[in-house]
């Protein structure tokens, strides 16, 4: 396959940035999207150009490091798929592909397609944990957990922190990410003691990072590679309301 | 080739790049300044408005029982709790509450969109909705359409400024004259606006459930259906009188 | 390659006495640090995987002043996140006869008698606390309807002791550790440095006293000093270029510590996982693991005829060779990883492999679907099938999966004593980066256990014994300056070459070479060839590599080039180690050492030892042996026939 890529290039945080067009030839349909970019980058390096910087690590859809907006869709149009798991067989020969970084004020561009997602870490720092120092835990069977709760908590806990939800949200909201963690811990007995303070602290942190507010558009779940459901946001809202009512 | 960075003293405890990297972040304010708080305001004021719409619709439907029935209803509104309360006092209080709800609702909507704008200072070159873009467009543009409509609507049927019968006529007359077949375009305008309200509420009512934290996996279907049902009932209920008048069923 | 033999290592610091009392004894014997002093003691932890993340969090909780580093943009992305299958623990919640002793026994045996009894016993003991800790943190392990934890039997174990969270156990455990770490960051006990790569170790007055790191965003070279340094930088499987490891996994941290004096133990022990998705083309950048559990119901086969081009569905039953079932009738498709891997290689070498390049075997679910029904198969393996289809574009319900072995885990690593301290005082090594507990072969679901045992429970105790003598005062200025200059020089040299080949192209070539000559099957001849080729390729690298950009910016080519440079040196040591160890054991198969049936043959008389390599100068590395003694588990040859 031959493709035309339009890629966002920005040499650093202070550069204005622009879209640059590249032709890539002989792309195999079995390549992953990132492998296609690898091939382009190998060429750019040899030609003495700056290769396109992008984040990636596990390349199997679990670390959450990769992510770009492909043809206007975070992680590309293939559902429930991270960029690294997207394969070129889903594109047509001769296609033109636009590639942009996650766009949100709290995710400033570091270089090209690499953005700074440390705001997510700070949201977790605000309260996304159970305070239990190593060595202080009771026997694992001392508190049974309903299977349904454990399963639902697991579903919320599968969030990989990629940030696609923010990238896709017309409001630039981090609600899905934040809600996923709040819900995970809210559904388990171990998370109860800190439940309300956690919700309040995390939501407030999300706000002060400069993320937008949620208007339940559902764009986030639609692109979320782990399919985190919207009702996690309801759970977050409910906990947040209760925390404020106290 | 490499950076020329001060080597510094080897016993210096640490470089502390963490300090220089800390971005400026706003301190969280109170509940009402939080994005969630604003959403709650929106949901509550939205609910007040929905309540108003339901009553309003029921009233409108009286037109099918004859002009008098409708006029009596309009009159009753103005003489609520009379003689305990003076003429139109309760209605005025309700109206003020309603206006307050509208204002707060709009304030929250505007400040949330302002926030959203700030959260995405650089726009995408290409952007494609994966949730069919419905909400984003309908809620804000739909909301604005409703505002313009409401103003016109008040001028038309409440104050009678743009109504052929003027202010001093009976409410039923104003309504029937307003939607006279010759003024088909008014009916059309009304139709568009009411459908917009319906679309706004189809998402809005569900969204309010979500905002207030009532939605969950098991309930979601029911809540979505409820939102849809209320919206449809309102749309049909609001459209029935004007259409009936325009097509000559009610004279 | 030249090498010399140095004195044996005699003391590993394990306490004497009955194996089950040794850890208790060590804990009691370890000096305690006065709580008021902890704040004054600085500890650097490199890596935020299960090992490093849990260690940094725990040290922070204890009150030490911790600095944590990782090369990713957040600690939550360490490669531990990718572990799928589960984590072992001797809880015996099933009452199926499991016990600490049995987990100990299985691990020593599974490691093919090349691990220390004392360490393994401690691992089995501590395994129990890990599950408690994780559950308390909110790790959503799979549960049964009664609300209690579910377990499964994994990797051929005969008891059900593997705890799991669907196919994402590593992710859930790592998030638990990550959250504990973030809590400490918020509390101010841990200072986090993401996108920072450790490039050298500062050793002053015989103690590890800090690290030189590069800020990967600005290119700034930073010096960080401390009273102790903990390396938790993971495994080095990426020396093969293609592996199931994350792209960024590297040997740089441990290799440069090795250059500063830490011994490297058993570098040749690598684990090859039998069920990975095969290579599809030249551009392939990594390999994806398919959970081992697939072998519970899938049947492995290849065509009987060589170069059979027919579609799998067109090959009749009698022309298929279910070779695992044929060769190992009692274990069949469930033979251990190393055996399944080598068998696949053998049939492919015979020319009977399938798929592109003939490097693949079928893993067929046809019979399982007929027997259990499609729905049941989907329930069990649906997400794995989906993942396979996403990558290959083939639907495993209709066409058999194609799988091939891939490098997965490295048992070797920096040598550590019972306290997890390396040969450099003050340098501790935990997780996959050390060599300690798995011998020559790691059992499934044991790496997560080891990483967390090290980080939550072992290191926090043993490091206290070392730190009790601290703080160690100012660091010699010269030592720090030297380390920094070495780092700057290396970067400058890489940038100065300005040749014509990319770092990746060298890495690919090195990887291929390692896979061919030091992979699943090693021979004296292949290893000698590798030892000849590696220096040549390395020389070419230093003459012809092209690193674009500058050092003062985010420069992924420069990062890569530095890592590849270290892989060259490590590769050479791996081949040397493999050459010297002329027996077969666990993941290390020397073709010269096999029995009549082609199974691995250990040579306990000559090789029941750890090979710990000291970095050498002109005369090459120095080999120090640590003799392994088995008081509890009797040495036997493994058999799975
Ligand atoms: C696909 C896959 C599946 C697996 N499944 C299982 C399983 O089911 N059960 C099981 O028990 N084991 C499994 N394993 C093995 C297990 O996951 C690993 O051995 C284990 O997680 C390693 O943990 P770690 O903390 O030692 O290192 P890692 O998790 O690899 O962490 C390394 C850390 O070091 C940092 N780092 C590395 N180099 C540098 C440097 N130079 N400077 C700064 N920081 C650096 C990285 O940023 C990272 O934070 C699996 C492995 C793979 C690849
Ligand atoms: C008849 C009058 C109106 C009614 C009954 C109404 C009702 C509602 C309701 C119930 C919600 C849901 C609140 C939530 O998400 O929790 C809502 C949301 C919203 N409304 Fe209105 N509204 C009305 C008028 C307006 C007007 C005039 C505007 C224009 C400014 C507007 C703009 C919005 C916006 C932007 C939202 C948020 C969108 C979202 O939640 O996705 N509404 N409305
Ligand atoms: S909620 Fe989904 S899209 Fe958002 S960070 Fe988590 S995994 Fe990514
Ligand atoms: S690179 Fe890890 S999720 Fe894509």
- What b/e readout covers C254-285, taking b as 16+ CB neighbours within 10 angstroms? bbbbbebbbbbbbbbbbbbbbbbbbbbeebbb
pLDDT digits (tens, 9 = 90+) for C574-586: 999 999 999 999 9
* Set of chain C residues whose Cβ sits within 8 Å of the Cβ of B8: 223
Angle in degrees, CA C166, C410, C271, rounded to 5 = 70
Lowest mean pLDDT of A5-19, C38-52, C376-390, name the range.
C376-390
Question: Can you tell me the mean pLDDT for A150-165?
Answer: 97
With a CB cutoff of 8 Å and minimum separation 6, the contacts of C589 are: C338, C342, C520, C521, C522, C600
Whether the per-residue pLDDT at B133 is higher than 70: the answer is no
The alpha carbon of residue A159 and the mean position of all alpha carbons in its chain are separated, in whole angstroms, by 8
Question: Can you tell me the mean pLDDT for C531-552?
Answer: 97
- Taking the centre of ligand 4 as the mean of its atom positions, its distance from the CA of residue C227, in whole angstroms, is 35
Whether the per-residue pLDDT at B8 is higher than 60: the answer is no
Residue A219 near chain B (CB below 8 Å):
yes
pLDDT digits (tens, 9 = 90+) for C72-112: 999 999 999 999 889 999 999 999 999 999 999 999 999 99
- Picking from A49, A86, A129 by the largest number of C CB atoms within 10 A of its own CB, the best residue to mutate is A129
What is the 8-class DSSP label of residue C294?
A: G
Residues in the ligand 1 pocket, defined by CB under 6 Å? C 46-52, 69-72, 78-80, 82-87, 169-170, 197-198, 232-235, 244-245, 249-250, 252-253, 289, 408-409, 431-433, 445-448, 451
Q: Do C219 and B2 touch (CB under 8 A)?
A: yes
pLDDT at site C383: 82
pLDDT at site B16: 40
Closest partner CB to B119 (pick from A71, A172, A230): A172
In whole angstroms, what is the distance from residue C423 CA to residue C435 CA? Answer: 13
Question: Can you tell me the mean pLDDT for B201-229?
Answer: 92
Nearest CA in chain C to A185: C138
% residues pLDDT > 70 (chain B): 87
> Whole-number mean pLDDT of chain C?
95
The alpha carbon of residue C296 and the mean position of all alpha carbons in its chain are separated, in whole angstroms, by 24
Whether the per-residue pLDDT at B9 is higher than 80: the answer is no
CATH of the domain at B224: 1.20.1300.10
DSSP, residue by residue, A135-193: T-PPPGGGS---HHHHHHHHHHHT-----HHHHH-TT-B-HHHHHHHHHHHHTSGGGST
Whether the per-residue pLDDT at C16 is higher than 70: the answer is yes
pTM equals 0.95
- Picking from C23, C247, C546 by the largest number of A CB atoms within 10 A of its own CB, the best residue to mutate is C247
Q: Are strands A73-74 and A69-70 parallel, antiparallel or unpaired?
A: antiparallel
Q: Do C475 and B7 touch (CB under 8 A)?
A: no
In whole angstroms, what is the distance from residue C574 CA to residue C522 CA? Answer: 11
With a CB cutoff of 8 Å and minimum separation 6, the contacts of B98 are: B48, B49, B52
How many helices (H) and strands (E) would you count in chain B? 8, 0
Whether the per-residue pLDDT at B21 is higher than 60: the answer is no
Question: Can you tell me the mean pLDDT for C276-291?
Answer: 93
% residues pLDDT > 90 (chain B): 47
Q: Do B123 and A207 touch (CB under 8 A)?
A: no
* Set of chain C residues whose Cβ sits within 8 Å of the Cβ of B16: 191
Q: Which numbered atom of ligand 2 lies nearest the CA of B140?
A: 35
pLDDT at site B25: 58
Q: How many domains does chain B have?
A: 1
The verdict on the CB of residue A225 being under 6 Å from ligand 3 is yes
pLDDT at site B20: 42
How many helices (H) and strands (E) would you count in chain C? 18, 21
Q: Is C6 left (phi over 0), alpha (psi -120 to 50) or beta?
A: beta
Cβ pair C424, C260 in contact under 8 A: yes
Architecture, CATH, for domain A117-245: Orthogonal Bundle (1.10)
pLDDT at site C335: 85
pLDDT digits (tens, 9 = 90+) for C115-131: 999 999 999 999 999 99
- Taking the centre of ligand 1 as the mean of its atom positions, its distance from the CA of residue B222, in whole angstroms, is 45
At C254, the pLDDT band (50, 70, 90 cuts) reads very high
Residues of C annotated as catalytic (active site), given as ranges: 337
Q: Show the 3-state SS of C464-512.
A: HHHHCCCCCCCCCHHHHHHHHHHHHHHHHHHHHHCCCECHHHHHHHHHH
Q: CATH says A3-111 is which class?
A: alpha beta
> Does the ipTM surpass 0.85?
yes
Angle in degrees, CA A49, A51, A57, rounded to 5 = 165
pLDDT digits (tens, 9 = 90+) for C306-357: 999 999 999 999 999 999 999 999 889 988 888 899 999 999 999 999 998 8
- Residue C375's CB is within 10 A of a number of other CB atoms, namely 10
At B4, the pLDDT band (50, 70, 90 cuts) reads very low
Whether the per-residue pLDDT at C228 is higher than 50: the answer is yes
C477-603 carries CATH number 1.20.58.100: yes
Domain with CATH 3.10.20.30 in chain A: 3-111
* Set of chain C residues whose Cβ sits within 8 Å of the Cβ of A78: 390
CATH number of C273-408: 3.90.700.10
Nearest CA in chain A to B32: A244
Find where tokens 């999207």 sit. Answer: A33
Question: Can you tell me the mean pLDDT for A181-192?
Answer: 98
Question: Can you tell me the mean pLDDT for A114-122?
Answer: 98
Q: Is C47 left (phi over 0), alpha (psi -120 to 50) or beta?
A: left
Cβ pair A212, A171 in contact under 8 A: yes
pLDDT at site B147: 87
In whole angstroms, what is the distance from residue B159 CA to residue B154 CA? Answer: 6
pLDDT digits (tens, 9 = 90+) for B145-155: 888 888 888 88
- Taking the centre of ligand 4 as the mean of its atom positions, its distance from the CA of residue B121, in whole angstroms, is 26
Nearest CA in chain B to C224: B14
pLDDT at site C182: 98
B87–chain A nearest CA distance, Å:
38
What residue owns the CA closest to ligand 2's atom 24?
A: B143
Q: Residue C330 burial by CB count (10 A; 0-12/13-18/19+): exposed, middle or buried?
A: exposed
Range of the domain at B51: 37-116+134-246
Cα dihedral across residues C260, C265, C268, C272: positive or negative: negative
Q: Which numbered atom of ligand 3 lies nearest the CA of A158?
A: 7
* Set of chain C residues whose Cβ sits within 8 Å of the Cβ of B1: 491-492, 495-496, 550-551
Whether the per-residue pLDDT at C233 is higher than 90: the answer is yes
Paired tokens of C72:
């990713």
Listed in sequence order, the DSSP H helices in B16-163 are 17-21, 35-60, 67-78, 89-119, 134-153
Domain boundaries, chain C: 273-408, 477-603
Closest partner CB to B18 (pick from C191, C491, C496): C191
């Amino acid at each position: 396959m031959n493709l035309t890529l339009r890629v966002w290039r920005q040499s650093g945080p202070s550069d204005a940035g622009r879209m640059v067009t590249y032709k890539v030839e002989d792309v195999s349909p079995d390549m992953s999207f990132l492998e296609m970019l690898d091939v382009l980058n190998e060429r750019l390096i040899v030609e003495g150009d700056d290769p396109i910087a992008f984040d990636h690590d596990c390349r199997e859809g679990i670390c959450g490091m990769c992510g770009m907006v492909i043809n206007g869709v975070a992680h590309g149009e293939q559902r429930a798929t991270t960029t690294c798991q997207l394969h070129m067989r889903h594109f047509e020969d001769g296609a033109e592909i636009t590639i942009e970084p996650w766009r949100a004020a709290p995710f400033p561009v570091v270089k090209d397609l690499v953005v700074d997602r440390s705001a997510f870490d700070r949201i977790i720092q605000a309260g996304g944990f159970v305070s239990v120092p190593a060595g202080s835990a009771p026997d694992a069977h001392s508190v049974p957990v309903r299977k349904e709760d454990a399963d639902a908590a697991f579903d919320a806990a599968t969030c990989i922190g990629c940030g696609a939800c923010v990238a896709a949200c017309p409001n630039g909201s981090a609600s899905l990410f934040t809600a996923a963690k709040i819900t995970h811990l809210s559904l388990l007995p171990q998370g109860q003691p800190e439940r309300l303070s956690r919700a309040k602290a995390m939501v407030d942190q999300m706000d002060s990072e400069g993320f937008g507010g949620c208007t339940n558009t559902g764009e986030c779940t639609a692109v979320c590679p782990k399919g985190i459901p919207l009702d996690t946001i309801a759970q977050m809202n409910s906990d947040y309301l209760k925390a404020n009512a106290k | 080739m490499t950076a020329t960075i001060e080597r510094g003293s080897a016993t210096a405890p640490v470089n502390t790049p963490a300090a220089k990297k800390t971005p400026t972040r706003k301190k969280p304010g109170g509940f009402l300044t939080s994005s969630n708080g604003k959403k709650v305001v929106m949901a509550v004021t939205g609910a007040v408005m929905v309540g108003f719409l339901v009553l309003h619709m029921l009233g409108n439907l009286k037109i099918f029982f004859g002009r008098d029935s409708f006029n009596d209803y309009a009159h009753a509104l103005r003489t609520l709790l009379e003689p305990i309360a003076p003429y139109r006092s309760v209605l005025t209080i309700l109206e003020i509450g309603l206006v307050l709800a509208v204002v707060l609702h709009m304030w929250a909507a505007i400040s949330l969109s302002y926030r959203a704008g700030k959260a995405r200072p650089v726009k995408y070159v290409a952007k494609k909705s994966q949730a069919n873009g419905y909400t984003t467009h309908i809620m804000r543009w739909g909301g604005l359409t409703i505002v313009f409509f409401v103003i016109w609507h008040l001028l038309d049927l409440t104050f009678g400024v743009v109504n052929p019968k003027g202010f001093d006529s009976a409410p039923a007359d104003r309504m029937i004259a307003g939607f006279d077949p010759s003024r088909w375009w008014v009916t059309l305008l009304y139709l568009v606006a009411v459908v917009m309200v319906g679309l706004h509420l189809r998402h809005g009512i569900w969204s309010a459930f979500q905002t207030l934290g009532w939605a969950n996996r098991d309930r979601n279907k029911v809540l979505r259906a409820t939102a849809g049902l209320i919206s449809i009932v309102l749309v049909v209920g609001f459209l029935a009188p004007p259409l009936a008048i325009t097509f000559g069923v009610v004279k | 390659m030249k090498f010399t033999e140095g004195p044996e290592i005699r003391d590993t610091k394990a306490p004497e006495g009955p194996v089950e009392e040794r850890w208790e004894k060590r804990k009691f014997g370890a000096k305690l640090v006065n709580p008021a002093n902890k704040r004054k003691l600085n500890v650097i932890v490199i890596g935020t995987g299960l090992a490093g993340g849990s260690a940094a969090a725990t040290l922070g909780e204890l009150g030490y002043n911790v600095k944590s580093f990782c090369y990713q943009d957040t600690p939550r992305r360490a490669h531990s996140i990718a572990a799928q299958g589960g984590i072992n623990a001797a809880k015996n919640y099933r009452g199926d006869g499991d016990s600490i002793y049995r987990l100990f026994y299985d691990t020593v045996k599974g490691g093919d008698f090349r691990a220390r009894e004392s360490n393994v016993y401690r691992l089995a003991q501590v395994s129990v606390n890990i599950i408690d800790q994780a559950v308390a943190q909110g790790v959503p392990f799979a549960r049964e309807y009664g609300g209690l934890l579910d377990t499964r039997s994994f990797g051929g174990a005969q008891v059900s002791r593997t705890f799991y969270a669907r196919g994402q156990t590593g992710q859930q455990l790592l998030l638990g550790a990550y959250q504990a770490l973030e809590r400490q960051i918020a509390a101010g006990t841990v200072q986090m440095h993401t996108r920072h790569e450790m490039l050298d170790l500062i050793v002053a007055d015989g103690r590890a006293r800090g690290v030189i790191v590069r800020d990967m965003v600005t290119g700034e070279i930073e010096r960080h000093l401390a009273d102790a340094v903990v390396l938790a930088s993971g495994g080095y499987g990426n020396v093969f270029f293609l592996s199931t490891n994350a792209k960024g996994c590297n040997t740089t941290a441990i290799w440069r510590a090795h250059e500063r004096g830490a011994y490297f133990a058993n570098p040749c022990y690598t684990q090859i996982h039998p069920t990975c998705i095969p290579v599809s083309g030249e551009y392939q950048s990594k390999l994806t693991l398919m959970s081992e559990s697939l072998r519970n119901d899938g049947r492995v086969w290849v065509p009987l005829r060589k170069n059979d081009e027919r579609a799998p569905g067109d090959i009749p039953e009698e022309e298929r060779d279910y070779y695992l079932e044929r060769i190992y009738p009692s274990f069949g498709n469930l033979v251990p990883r190393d055996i399944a891997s080598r068998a696949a290689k053998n049939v492919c070498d015979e020319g009977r492999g399938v798929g592109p390049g003939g490097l693949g075997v079928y893993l067929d679910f046809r019979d399982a679907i007929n027997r259990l029904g499609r729905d049941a198969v989907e329930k069990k393996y649906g997400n794995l099938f989906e993942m396979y289809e996403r990558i290959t574009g083939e639907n495993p319900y209709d066409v058999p999966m194609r799988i091939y072995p891939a490098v997965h885990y490295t048992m070797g690593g920096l040598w550590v004593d019972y306290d997890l301290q390396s040969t450099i005082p003050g340098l501790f090594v935990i997780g996959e980066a050390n060599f300690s507990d798995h011998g020559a072969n790691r059992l499934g679901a044991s790496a997560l256990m080891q990483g967390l045992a090290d980080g939550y429970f072992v290191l926090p105790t043993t490091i206290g014994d070392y730190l009790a003598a601290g703080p160690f005062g100012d660091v010699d200025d010269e030592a720090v300056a030297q380390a920094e200059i070495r780092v700057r020089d290396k970067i400058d040299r890489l940038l100065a070459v300005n040749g014509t080949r990319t770092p990746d192209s060298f890495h690919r070539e090195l990887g291929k070479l390692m896979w061919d000559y030091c992979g699943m099957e090693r021979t004296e001849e292949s290893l000698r060839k590798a030892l000849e080729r590696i220096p040549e390729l390395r020389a070419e690298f230093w003459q012809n590599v092209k690193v674009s950009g500058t050092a003062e910016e985010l420069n992924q080519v420069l990062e890569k080039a530095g890592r590849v440079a270290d892989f060259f040196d490590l590769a050479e040591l791996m081949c040397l180690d493999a050459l010297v160890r002329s027996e077969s054991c666990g993941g290390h198969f020397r073709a010269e050492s096999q029995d009549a049936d082609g199974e691995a043959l250990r040579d306990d008389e000559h090789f029941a030892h750890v090979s710990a390599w000291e970095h050498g100068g002109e005369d090459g590395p120095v080999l120090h042996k640590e003799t392994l003694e088995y008081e509890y588990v009797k040495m036997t040859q493994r058999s799975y026939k």
